[in-house]
Amino acid sequence: MSRAMMIHEDEPRLRLTHPDTPSPAQGEVVVDIEYSGLNYKDALALTGEGRIIRQYPLIGGVDATGIVRESRDERFAPGDRIIATGWGIGEQHSGGFTTCQCFKGDWLVHCPDTLSPENAMLAGTAGFTAMQALTALEHAGVTPADGPMIVTGATGGVGQWAVLLLAQAGFDVHAVTGKASQHELLKALGATEVIDRHGFTEKCRPLDKARWAGGVDTVGGVTLSALLSRIKDNGAVAAVGLAGGMELNMTVAPFILRGVSLLGINSVSVPFEQRQGIWQRLAGVDASLYQPLHAGTLSLEELAPTARRMIDGETLGRYLVNPGQA
């Protein structure tokens, strides 16, 4: 019997249901879900703390990996293992918190043979976004020889992956966080220096002392403006988040006096070939490096309390979700 966690607008908000097996239309693929993941965006949707769901009721889960059961898209055949991220999955369209789901073929990529389904979801949207940011920085010409890189919001999902991937690419990585208890974890992921986020944004000038060759910013707001003012000549920053706010109050000085580039990262609507290439790069990461990020594996019934703890800042690492696990 199928299982799914349906999110409703009225109470009770979360309801475990047993939907019928979907039938695919032309261009769609039915997937038996092996794993999803619990992202912060999922936690916002599950708890109702954020306006994530665009239409109710909806099956949550912005990430999914599984095996094709039935396909009406010539790119995918029964038995293929796939990954689904982005494209409004878990927000506008039902997602991975179910044992069986129907997706548009355009939303899927093939899971590389060397990437286990568990590791695919330990990466998920967070790992995908971090690898996308690293690729953009490389294309902008930033190299390890240029100096240290910095990651803001480093204990978040994307932040942890950014620290790990930048370190594996040979960069000297500095991590910014407000969680003093997580310094050792960040160093285990590859950070050589951990910086307190409160001091990072204090007394920052429009064009401050240049210290970093580039970075990955997951915060936005004053953190991003403080970071841009400290980037070296011809450096670059990949902006991937807005937890600290959408406004960017700063001068153009870093851009016109130092040639700094601000690279916007959109992980939602990435073209198929580019998405497949990013997953191939993630598959090339040593599998043992995924495990320090694994916080546990959840059943659908365990989603609600874990989502609440995530919102309250009481979790760390990546949670897998096994929808078939009772």
**Given a cut of 90, is residue 109 above it in pLDDT?**
yes
- Residue 156 CA to residue 308 CA, distance in Å, equals 16
- State the average pLDDT over residues 34-59: 94
Q: Quote the pLDDT of residue 164.
A: 97
Which of these, 125, 177, 137, lies nearest to 262 by C-alpha position?
Answer: 137
Evaluate if residue 326 carries a pLDDT over 80: no
Per-residue pLDDT of 167-221, as tens digits, reads 999 999 999 998 888 899 899 999 999 999 888 988 788 899 999 999 999 999 9
Q: What is the pLDDT of residue 245?
A: 86
Is-contact 121 293, C-beta < 8 A?
A: no
Reported pTM = 0.95
If one compares 99 and 315, the residue with the highest pLDDT of the two is: 99
DSSP tally for the chain: helices H, then strands E: 9, 16
Helices (H), 101-220: 117-139, 157-168, 183-189, 197-200
Structure tokens at 212: 């970093």
Structure tokens at 163: 């620290």
- Report residue 126's pLDDT band, with 50, 70 and 90 as the boundaries: very high
Model confidence pLDDT, tens digit, residues 245-256 = 899 999 999 999
At residue 148, does pLDDT exceed 90?
A: yes
Question: Are the C-beta atoms of 143 and 163 separated by less than 8 Å?
Answer: no
State yes or no: pLDDT of 1 exceeds 80. Answer: no
Residue 140 has pLDDT above 80, yes or no: yes
What are the domain boundaries of the chain? 4-114+284-321, 126-264
Summarised one tens digit per residue, pLDDT across range 280-313 is 999 999 999 998 899 999 999 999 999 999 999 8
- pLDDT, the chain, mean: 95
What is the model's pLDDT at position 58?
97
Domain 4-114+284-321 is found in CATH 3.10.520.10: no
User: Among positive and negative, which fits the CA dihedral 38, 61, 282, 267?
Assistant: negative
Nearest one of 97, 101, 84 to 6, comparing CA atoms: 97
- 48-74 pLDDT per residue, tens: 998 899 899 999 999 999 999 999 999
> What's domain 126-264's architecture?
3-Layer(aba) Sandwich (3.40)
